[in-house]
């Protein structure tokens, strides 16, 4: 009676394991799709936010400076009042200016007459006799007072202000630099944002929402992957369905880890402020540099834009981080589905020994170290920027971060190492026991 029940009991447990493995695999694949979709959307939002925040449209844009300087000068002109203190200063400056101007006019006329020979000499003599320069100079204070009285008249003041502002606008139109804002305006239209500040705020809010959603899916993905591996590890060697599901999950992690960005590099100026003619000028969130690449994108860039040496690096990265891991997991999956240990020496090497030679784990460590190193470089360089200026306040930030592709690729590496042990147990041990 007992012997007849046990096989049915084992069959029931096998069905439960297989069903649980299939369910967990579906959860992993669903979460993977959602994470991939969220990360892709968040990447687009971040690129658009970096476009709006680019220093090209702010601190490095001549049009921005023209608007700022024009508004400051217009404010100063409108605020100008001829007080007793300022009247005394202007009286001194105008008196000095007119004295120097009269001296220069007299000198120029004498020099020109000297160049005309005898006729010019006669003109100089007649000018000394007929024109009393000292008498004109003595009248300068009266002329200055007339000018100051004219400027103090409210009706004349408004006329002078309009004249100065018109001349300023004419000079502003002549001072310009070409900055192509096509991409900038396209982003504003795309998100129906009225200006740069509103657009960046909107993009950041959407990105944070996606990031929170992405973290929840990553947590479920982690738990489902651990559940799959645990189920495969505690299943009998000949029950391969949980292990097959685990390998499929590892392949999904590998694919997403290769396609999604691994490092997001950003260097920006959080605040650039100075005082211009007594008025504060502030630029905020000025992006200096931004780059986000996946492993496959880096390989493509190295192959298309690099020289021979970089092409060799690209091939090595592709081989050790893409080709060998994918081949290893794919061949392991085929062997488990067939239930036969592979006979070919090369195939056996890939399944059983390639993990020892694969650079996948080294790649993860290298990316992590590169991230730390880049953080140091950026912080050092931005710190130097702050120390180079004294009258200008510069607050720099380094917003570089490890992206979801790094964590997915790391998850594949860990899951792949565990699967290698289980594959060997499932294919080799049963055959040995049978012998």
Query: What whole-number distance in Å separates Cα of residue 284 and Cα of residue 418?
Result: 48
Query: What whole-number distance in Å separates Cα of residue 237 and Cα of residue 52?
Result: 57
Residue 356 is predicted with a pLDDT of 55
Query: What whole-number distance in Å separates Cα of residue 257 and Cα of residue 354?
Result: 19
Task: Please state whether beta strands 279-293 and 401-402 pair in parallel, antiparallel, or not at all (unpaired).
Answer: unpaired
Query: What whole-number distance in Å separates Cα of residue 53 and Cα of residue 269?
Result: 10
Q: Which of 383, 301, 49, 30 is nearest to 199 (CA)?
A: 49
Enter the DSSP assignment of 83: -
> Assign residue 35 a region: left if phi > 0, alpha if psi is -120 to 50, beta otherwise?
alpha
Burial of 251 (0-12, 13-18, 19+ CB in 10 A): buried
Task: Please state whether beta strands 279-293 and 393-398 pair in parallel, antiparallel, or not at all (unpaired).
Answer: unpaired
Query: What tokens appear for 63 in the block?
Result: 């049009």
Q: What is the pLDDT along the chain (435 residues), one digit of tens a residue?
A: 344 444 666 678 888 888 999 999 999 999 999 999 999 999 999 999 988 888 888 877 777 777 787 777 777 666 666 666 667 777 787 788 777 777 776 676 666 656 555 555 555 555 555 555 666 677 778 777 777 776 666 666 666 667 666 666 666 566 555 677 888 889 999 999 988 889 999 999 999 999 999 999 999 999 999 999 999 999 888 888 999 999 999 999 999 988 998 878 777 777 778 777 777 888 887 887 777 888 888 788 778 866 777 788 778 778 878 888 888 888 888 888 887 777 777 777 777 666 555 555 556 556 644 554 455 545 555 555 555 555 555 555 556 677 888 889 888 888 888 888 888 888 765 444 443
Enter the DSSP assignment of 57: G
Residue 6 is predicted with a pLDDT of 47
Residue 210 is predicted with a pLDDT of 93
Give the CA angle between residues 44, 46, 47 to the nearest 5°.
65
Helix (H, G, I), strand (E, B) or coil at 131: coil
Q: Which of 408, 24, 372 is nearest to 214 (CA)?
A: 408
Residue 431 is predicted with a pLDDT of 40
Helix (H, G, I), strand (E, B) or coil at 179: coil
Helix (H, G, I), strand (E, B) or coil at 373: helix
Query: What tokens appear for 152 in the block?
Result: 């103090």
Residues in the chain: 435
254 and 371 in contact (C-beta within 8 Å)? Answer: no
Q: How many CB atoms lie within 10 A of CB 65?
A: 17
């Amino acid at each position: 009676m007992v012997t007849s029940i046990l096989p049915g009991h084992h069959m029931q447990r096998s069905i439960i394991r297989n069903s649980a493995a299939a369910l967990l695999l579906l959860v992993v694949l669903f979460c993977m799709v959602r994470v991939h979709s969220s990360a892709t959307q968040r990447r687009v939002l971040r690129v658009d936010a970096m476009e709006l925040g680019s220093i090209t449209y702010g601190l490095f844009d001549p049009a921005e400076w023209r608007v700022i300087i024009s508004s400051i000068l217009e404010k100063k002109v409108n605020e100008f009042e001829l007080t007793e203190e300022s009247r005394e200063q202007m009286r001194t400056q105008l008196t000095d200016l007119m004295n120097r101007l009269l001296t220069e006019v007299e000198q120029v006329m004498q020099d020109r007459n000297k160049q005309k020979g005898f006729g010019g000499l006669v003109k100089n003599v007649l000018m000394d006799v007929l024109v009393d320069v000292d008498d004109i100079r003595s009248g300068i204070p009266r002329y200055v007072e007339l000018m100051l009285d004219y400027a103090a008249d409210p009706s004349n003041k408004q006329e002078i202000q309009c004249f100065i502002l018109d001349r300023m606008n004419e000079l502003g139109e002549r001072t310009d630099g070409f900055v192509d804002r096509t991409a900038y305006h396209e982003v504003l239209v795309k998100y129906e944002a009225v200006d740069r500040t509103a657009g960046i705020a909107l993009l950041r809010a959407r990105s944070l929402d996606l990031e929170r959603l992405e973290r929840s899916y990553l947590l479920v993905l982690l738990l489902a992957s651990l559940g799959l591996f645990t189920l495969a590890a505690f299943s009998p060697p000949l029950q391969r369905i949980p292990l097959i599901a685990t390998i499929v999950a590892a392949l999904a992690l590998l694919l997403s880890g290769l396609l999604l960005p691994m490092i997001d590099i950003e260097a920006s100026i959080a605040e650039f402020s100075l005082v211009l003619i007594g008025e504060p000028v502030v630029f905020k969130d000025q992006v200096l540099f931004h780059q986000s690449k996946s492993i496959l994108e880096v390989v493509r860039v190295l192959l298309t834009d690099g020289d021979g040496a970089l092409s060799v690096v690209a091939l090595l990265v592709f081989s050790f981080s893409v080709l060998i891991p994918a081949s290893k997991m794919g061949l392991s999956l085929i062997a488990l589905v067939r239930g036969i240990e592979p006979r070919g020496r090369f195939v056996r090497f890939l399944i059983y020994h390639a993990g020892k030679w694969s650079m996948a784990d080294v790649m993860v460590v290298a990316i992590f170290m590169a991230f730390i190193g880049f953080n140091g470089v950026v912080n050092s360089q931005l710190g130097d920027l702050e120390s180079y200026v004294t009258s200008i306040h510069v607050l720099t930030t380094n917003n570089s971060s490890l992206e979801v592709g790094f964590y997915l690729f790391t998850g594949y590496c860990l899951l792949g190492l565990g699967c290698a042990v289980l594959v060997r147990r499932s294919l080799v041990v049963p055959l040995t026991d049978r012998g």
